[in-house]
Amino acid sequence: MNGLVLARLADVPPPGRGALRCRAGTVEIGLFRVGDEVVAWRDLCPHEAAPVCRGTISGTRLVSAVGDYRYGRAGEILRCPWHGWEFDLATGQHLAGGSGARLRAHPIEVRGGLIFDAAGLAQDRELIIAERVDAAAGVIVLDLRPADDAPLAAWAPGAHVELELPSGRRRHYSLCGDPADRACYRIAVLREETGRGGSAELHEAARCGERLLLRRIRNRFPLTPGRHLFLAGGIGITGVLAMARSEARRTGHSRLVQIGRSRSTTAFLDETAELPGAELIMTERDGRPDLTALVAGTEPGTVIYCCGPERMITEVKAAGERHGRRVIIESFVPQPAPAGAGDHRPFQLELARSGRVIDVGADESILEALHRSGVDHAASSCRQGWCGSCETRVLAGVPEHRDTVLAEEERADADRMMICVGRATGERMTLDL
């Protein structure tokens, strides 16, 4: 943790009264109260075109030189003055149906009436395996604690960590513990014999006292406001368990359907049993569930969160389309990549930090061209465009996206790309490398 005090808690305006703006390093942020919490958003819309935290309050409107920021729902909506997009102030999520765009959070820590910059908490930290439990056949649950005295970065249900394993492989695991516990991250790992080796390595190497490197925390699966159905297949329970728990705490009920083969192969059965409204389906005992009927049986407006095997995801997505339900999936396996526009063409790549220019051939990816040229500091994991590890900022040029990580709105922003599969549409592009 860098320990910088950003502001006094008392100076943050009450809910619905706008932001306290301040600077965290080189980044402008706005601190807002939402209920009893303080959230910090970068003072920039997702298009990086307009500041979103400025202005003065007049009634229920935050008025700025550019336009109006309109507050509604008891001060929980923030509106970009430039594009008119509205964002949930608590989650940063763009409120348009189907949109994956969101405001960018800045990590903060509130202690002793002060707000600290917590950017250093969320990346490149050593974690110690404090506990390992065999939770089901082929599934281990690991409790990871920080190797230093600083608390772990706060997270919201739906978040996952990117861990670097002893071999240097990077892998992503959903956080399935308690977000209120700032001393422990809990993950579960299914050993996949036909996988790429990460789960087998962790099953063999994960002993209490061993260290893993936390590269970063991401949340591409945030919980939106409203009514939900959580569908979890197999180890997919890790993606939705924290969400279902949080909903049960908030509303006293949580519609979670956990599907597993048998009790011996299914993890977190006790946790699911404690959730009011949760249902357990064991396929060896109960047969395969009718996922289409489950989706069709939800009330209109229900958002369906689905995490599980590919076949299940495909079925639930199709049912969502057929019955007009929004389906949000979390998948750590390759999804069909969108087709790129046109054939591969060579282009020149400028690396902004060194000023170096390298050629990217028609038959190689940006990542491969970087490695060929001796540039090895670009992170990567899946190298197939679905994990998000190699996300890189685009400073000039227009990317041709070929990944399945970015939402449509994020693609349209053209300000970042997955360099393991993405290319340039023109003859030259500059990346923040």
Residue ranges in contact with ligand FES by CB under 6 A: 380-383, 385-390, 403, 405, 418, 420
Judged by beta carbon, residue 143 or residue 201, the one nearer ligand FES is: 201
From edge to edge, which strands make up the β-sheet containing 416-418?
356-360, 347-351, 428-431, 391-396, 416-418
Amino acid letter, 294 = L
Cα 141 off chain centre by = 21
Cβ at position 379, least distance to ligand FES in Å: 8
CB nearer to ligand FES: pick between 303 and 419: 419
Nearest to 322 by CA among 299, 289, 292: 292
Nearer to ligand FES, 167 or 262 (CB): 167
Distance CA 142, CA 202 (A): 10
- Residue 271 or 368 having the CB closest to ligand FES: 368
For 213-232, b/e burial (b = at least 16 CB within 10 A) is bbbbbbbbbbbbeeebbbbb
CA distance 9 to 38: 8
Cβ neighbours, 10 Å, residue 200: 15
- At closest approach, how far in Å is the CB of 337 from ligand FES? 10
CB of 196 to ligand FES, least distance (A): 11
Q: Which of 88, 403 has the CB closer to ligand FES? A: 403
Q: Parallel, antiparallel, or unpaired: how do β-strands 416-418 and 228-233 relate?
A: unpaired
CB of 218 to ligand FES, least distance (A): 12
What is the residue whose two structure tokens read 């404090």? 130
Closest-CA residue to 155 (of 210, 100, 223): 223
Using CA atoms, how far apart are residues 111 and 102, in angstroms rounded to an integer? 27
Q: Which is nearer to ligand FES, 219 or 380 (CB)?
A: 380
Question: Smallest distance from the beta carbon of 421 to ligand FES, in angstroms?
Answer: 6
Residue 245, both tokens = 């728990």
Residues 246, 253: Cα–Cα separation, whole Å: 10
* Shortest distance (Å) from residue 293 CB to ligand FES: 34
**Residue 360 and residue 370: Cα distance in Å, rounded?**
8
Q: How far is the CB of 382 from ligand FES (least distance, A)?
A: 4
Work out how close the CB of 267 gets to ligand FES at its nearest, in angstroms, rounded to a whole number. Answer: 25
Report the number of secondary-structure helices (H) and strands (E) in the chain.
8, 29
Which CB atom, from 163 or from 387, has the smaller least distance to ligand FES?
387
Measured from the CB of residue 391, what is the shortest distance to ligand FES in angstroms? 7
Distance CA 173, CA 186 (A): 9
Cα dist. 44→48, 145, 169, 181 in Å?
A: 5, 33, 33, 30
Which one, 70 or 344, has the nearer CB to ligand FES?
Answer: 344
* Nearer residue to ligand FES within complex by CB, 207 or 377: 377
